Chain A
Amino acid sequence: MNVPGSMTTLRARVREALGKAPVRRNFRAAMDGIRAKRAAALPDATDFAQRRARAAAIRARALARLPELLERLEQRLEANGIQVHWAEDATQANAIVLDLLHRAGARSVIKGKSMVSEETGLNDALGEAGVAVVESDLGEYIVQLAGEPPSHIVAPAIHKNRHEVAALFQAHHPQREATEDIEGLTAEARQVLRRRFAQADAGISGVNFLVAETGTLVLVENEGNGRLSTSAPPLHIAITGIEKVIERLDELPPLLDLLTRSATGQPITTYVNFISGPRRADELDGPREVHLVLLDNGRARIHADPLFADTLRCIRCGSCINHCPVYVQVGGHAYGSVYPGPIGALLEPQRLGLEAGGSLTSACTLCGACGDVCPVAIPLPGLINQLRAEGVEPRPDSPLPDAGRLRHRGEALLWRLWATIYAHPHRYRWLARLLTALRRLAPRRLGAWTRWREAPRPAARDLHRPGARSGVLR
């Protein structure tokens, strides 16, 4: 599992990402493409506002009754023959999955895309236990071959161009003829993966929505990998966070509609899987066992905090990431976290604590672009700003791990000094007079500011002086 860590390591990763000019050019074009698709799929602002009010209300209602809905979900799932497991943290979740695989004697696993399994570091845990895992989502497969974590929650390999993918495929599929053609590359992955689907002892997938009313696991995807991972092997294990539950089946269409439009600009994905149980006696295919691992990993704590509970409304569409001007400069790996971009800057410090994840809140200009596009109206910039406050001036009863830990004496002293001057008109006037009088002595170097920009020079006369004659300005 990656831990974003300190400000110094974040800055180092950012520097590294900024140094890769050709990668950044490709990446920019890819991001522009994905933004254009969303814009075309949601062209009308009023219509979007209505759709998102509805979606946000559905998610908010579900979260308001989370314990009750989870209980109902568990009952319905079990009635459908899906076995439910509860995991408090990553270690427990991985242990549950491993235990299920051991009991089934499974040695090889095919995986559909799952961000929660990235969160638990499942692939590493399985690898250490001698279980072979192959990612079946094309993007995930590519980053797996490259030995990298995903750089985006929806498009894991968006940072790679076809030449890089071709080089990876050549290295890992030596028996196949080399190609740089996109269709050829896709066909190659398809053929390699088909064999894996057929051979796998178990399939592992994520979940987009859990429907309490019917006990259904809903999974959207475009490649058929999710469908195959969950239906070809005899054992299917789904893993997801507890917040993904919604109450009723009829609440699903408005959410799916906004999820796919926000993520990829599609009105609907090629496949929408509704999984409501293992193979029945009269059925020819499908897994013999279906399990769901419900992961907490800090979610219950976030849910209990009235200030930050809205974070859990997130439906993982990645739209905030796609529209983030910081993400588009550096890509997902620079964040060093499982979830990058605005949702990462909001979720990770809460999940990991402010000591480990709090520096991510600095990778944000509070420009607000993320808040504008979020399909469930999470006030991302406001909450990221609130997290900054929790880092240095926490609420007395803040449940956030390591609240207040980002306060540094030097910085705190500077702000106190600033307030001592700016909150007292006479002191501020004195400062203004001093700065304007000594403007020629103003330093040419101002630390991090002048590393990139010329220093501003104080004005010859501050505005207070002509301002004093206001009304007689002629």
Chain B
Amino acid sequence: MTKETHEIYVFGTCLIDLLRPEAGMAALRLLERAGFRPLFPQAQSCCGQPAFNSGYRHEARAVARAQLAAFARELPVVVPSASCAGMIRNHWPALFAGEPEEAQARALAARTFELCEFLDRAGLVLQDRGESVRVALHHSCSARRETRTTASAERLLEQLSGVECLAPAHAEECCGFGGTFAIKQDALSAAMADSKCDAVLATSAERLLSQDAGCLLHLQGRLAQRGDTLPVQHIAEFLWERIA
């Protein structure tokens, strides 16, 4: 393979860009370790999901359209977020149905991958250098149902000899983030976060991981307000930390 064919795009997502760039950096480094040359288009911003899920499709489309321009070359697009990857893959084709960009959106949807899925398929080998640790992997609903990539994340973690992965009760249940749901139904969202936090704390995990920055933002914020000190980390950050 030429160097050219190793090039891939990384879509950082707005949450990671502004609030958790460490996760994005870790994703870039993991992709490099897997033998790719990650390109980070400067013109990228957001997949449009927040507006899409609030019913504002015109605005979602405007923002998504800008990404079509930013990721114009026919390279795989790797996203360190199951929910943004799911948005592009499952909802952009419908969002652009009947629009001039429909074919372009479909093509981009077909070459978009969630990070763990991409690394797993690429056969990335992880050599664990860390001390032994117990973690809980929070399966985001989008990893479970939108991108169906929870097994990829689990396989990557299984490669790490010092890591024990624990499953909290009701692991299949949503943590209550849901984008603007967290604000529109704030009390309900917090109650769902509490159920999730209690279940995770009951596992004796020393760290909480997820493939989604949204869930982590919500759970970390709730844990902190409750006075719980469980560290929370994006899975990319954790994986890089273990092998670096």
> Which positions in A face B, CB cutoff 8 Å?
7, 11, 14-15, 18, 325-326, 328-330, 362-369, 371-372, 385, 388-393, 406, 411-412, 415-416, 418-419, 422-425, 428-429, 432, 435-436, 447-459, 461-464, 466-468, 470-471, 473-474
Contact = CB atoms under 8 A, between A and B. Distances in A.
Contact of B56 (A329, A392, A424): A392
B37 interface: yes
B218 A473 contact: no
Contact of A473 (B29, B221, B222): B29
Q: Which of A362, A364, A429, A452 has the most CB of B within 10 A?
A: A452
A452 B56 contact: no
A452 B225 contact: yes
Given A325-B192, A422-B66, A471-B38, A448 B183 contact: yes
Given A325-B192, A372-B145, A448-B186, 17 more contacts: A15-B187, A363-B185, A369-B173, A369-B174, A393-B55, A423-B45, A425-B43, A425-B70, A449-B183, A450-B221, A452-B193, A453-B193, A454-B221, A463-B21, A463-B25, A470-B39, A471-B32
Contacts of A432: 17-18
B53 to A, nearest CB: 6
Contacts of A371: 145
Contacts of B224: 453-454
A447 B224 CA distance: 17
Contacts of B184: 7, 362, 448
Nearest to B43: A425
Given A368-B146, A448-B183, A466 B225 contact: no
B105 interface: no
A467 B186 contact: no
A365 B220 CA distance: 18
B45 A449 contact: no
B186 A326 contact: no
A452 B141 contact: no
Nearest to B190: A452
Contacts of B62: 419, 423
B63 A419 contact: yes
B51 interface: yes
B55 A391 contact: yes
B66 A369 contact: no
Interface in B183-219: 183-193, 195, 217-218
Interface residues of B, number: 73
B106 to A, nearest CB: 17
B17 A464 contact: yes
Nearest to A412: B56
A204 B60 CA distance: 49
Contacts of A365: 141, 174, 176-178, 181, 189, 192
B16 A463 contact: yes
A423 B32 CA distance: 29
Contacts of A467: 10, 12, 24, 28, 40, 42
Contacts of B52: 385
A447 B59 CA distance: 23
B188 A368 contact: no
List the 6 closest pairs (A to B, CB-CB), nearest first: A453-B221, A365-B178, A467-B40, A388-B55, A452-B190, A367-B174
A418 B59 contact: yes
Contacts of A18: 187-188, 191
B222 A466 contact: no
A390 B188 CA distance: 24
Nearest to A361: B55
Nearest to A470: B40
A416 B57 CA distance: 11
A459 B21 contact: yes
Contacts of B37: 470-471
